[in-house]
Amino acid sequence: MKAKIFMAVILVLGMTSCSTYYKMSSRIEADGSMHREVYALGDSAFRAGDKSQNPFLFQLNDKWRLVNMDSTRKYNFWGDEEPLNVIASQRFPEVNGEYFSTLPGKEYMKPLVVPHEKLDKKFRWFYTYYEYTATYHELPDKGPVPLSKFLTPEEQQIWFRGDEAAYAGLNGMELDNKLDDIGSKFWQWYNCTQFEISFRIISQLVENQGDTTYLHCMEKQKESVSKKVLSANENFDGSPEAICSMFDEACRTKYFLGLYASNKDAMDKKFEKDSEVSALFYYAIKFELTMPGKLIATNADSQSDDGIAWRVDAFRLVTGDYLLTAESKMINYWAFGVTLLLILACFGICLKRYRRK
């Protein structure tokens, strides 16, 4: 079945690379403005001018300048070589707000597509300091089961974002045991989340049918079925069809699979709707930034002579807001010149008064 809740996607993508990559390169200028380029892979129709085939994750208004690259080029995304061939660019006179709009019907993608960005420019005579932040907000929908029921905040941080401090002092065997324990809790949460989504869909349909006998059986057997779900491995299928089969076995009937067969399209569509956020986990953005002057602080994943970069994906938005920060300073050469002139002027005045005396 096509629809899977978003944690099923985590299962697949947590072990492999994302299927679609974007490269976003931003350059902060000395005057506080920003030039941005977003790279994507467009099909022949889009490159020919058909904007309805938009390959970007955001809406393209008239302010975005579109350029077809001379040829498809491959860029390195954390070890994967991925092709890109179109660029959308725009200059922003200031940086303080949200500069992307989600595509129609895909508002659920806002956490990954629309960061809130801010640039503070502070003049300190000899230096001008630039403080940049981009906040990607936490996913609002993570399913009906709270993560905290299975994973502590520390374990969530390790599993979804990584935490070097948590690995300190551990050898390979100890680290493997720790991750294995967290992984086991994760799968329990994942299976429980799948079960709850399907359970709600099935029970609502049974209630609408007026089949109170089978509804009571579901409620009575829910705990025993959920225990089987929690002990299932990573191959567990929590789709409505699979859960109907489990309740048929628990209630010793063929009613639930029959109900699914009669309402397959509606149940699958509802399941897909309730898990539409799963689409977010198929994308990753290489967020590149160049700051004016000398970089003095950042939480970027990587640094080079060309700038700094973060990996932005939905995994990092599961446990809270994802904040990108960078700070730089630029020398005000004119301030040194003015200061030197003032010192020389003061020295000259003092020397002239001394000679008069």
- pLDDT tens column, 317-338: 998 999 999 999 999 888 778 8
Q: Are 58 and 113 in contact (CB under 8 A)?
A: yes
pLDDT of residue 272: 86
pLDDT digits (tens, 9 = 90+) for 59-109: 999 999 999 999 999 999 988 899 999 999 999 999 999 999 999 989 999
pLDDT (mean) for 116-136: 95
Hey, what are 82's tokens?
Answer: 């991925």
What is the per-residue DSSP string for 161-211? T--HHHHTT--HHHHHHHHHHHHHHHHHHHHHHHHHHHHHHHHHHHHHHT-
pLDDT for res 357: 67
Average confidence score pLDDT of the chain: 89
d(CA 150, CA 25): 38
Return the number of other C-beta atoms located less than 10 Å from residue 155's C-beta: 22
pLDDT at residue 159 in the model: 87
Q: Which of 41-45, 152-156, 201-205 has the lowest mean pLDDT?
A: 152-156
**Which candidate, 147, 146, 141, 138, places its Cα nearest to that of 274?**
141
The better pLDDT of the pair 212, 234 is held by: 212
Cβ neighbours around 318 below 10 Å, total: 19
Please state, as a whole number, how many other Cβ atoms lie within 10 Å of the Cβ of residue 129.
15
- Asked whether residue 3 carries a pLDDT value surpassing 50, the answer given is no
Q: Do residues 159 and 185 lie in contact, with contact meaning Cβ atoms separated by under 8 Å?
A: no
Q: Is the pLDDT of residue 173 over 80?
A: yes
Under a CB-based contact definition with an 8 Å cutoff, are residues 194 and 5 in contact?
A: yes
User: What pLDDT is attached to residue 234?
Assistant: 67
Considering only residues 175 and 248, tell me which one the structure prediction assigns the higher pLDDT: 248
Q: What is the pLDDT of residue 7?
A: 43
Cα–Cα dist 47/218, whole Å = 53
> Which pLDDT does position 354 carry in this prediction?
75
Q: Give the span between the Cα atoms of 239 and 323, in whole angstroms.
A: 34
Query: Could you state, in order of their start, the residue ranges of all structural domains in the chain?
Result: 16-142+279-336, 170-276
Closest alpha carbon to 46 in 67, 62, 61? 67
What local confidence, expressed as pLDDT, does residue 190 receive? Answer: 81
Q: Is the pLDDT of residue 13 over 70?
A: no
Of all residues in the chain, the percent with pLDDT exceeding 90 is 63
Instruction: Answer yes or no: is pLDDT of 250 > 80.
Output: yes
Task: Record the tokens describing residue 74, joined without a space.
Answer: 């491959």
Starting from the edge strand earliest in sequence, which strands make up the sheet with 65-77, in order? 65-77, 80-92, 34-40, 20-28, 283-290, 307-313, 302-304
- Token readout for 100 is 């992307």
The packing angle between helices 264-274 and 240-251, to 10°, is 120
Cα angle 70, 71, 75 (rounded to 5 degrees) comes to 120
Q: Is the pLDDT of residue 143 over 60?
A: yes
pLDDT at 8 over 70: no
pLDDT of 235 reads 74
The amino acid at residue 315 is F
pLDDT at 347: 78
SS3 call for 151: coil
Q: Per-residue pLDDT for 11 more than 60?
A: no
pLDDT exceeds cutoff 50 at 273: yes
pLDDT-based confidence at 186, cuts 50/70/90?
Answer: confident
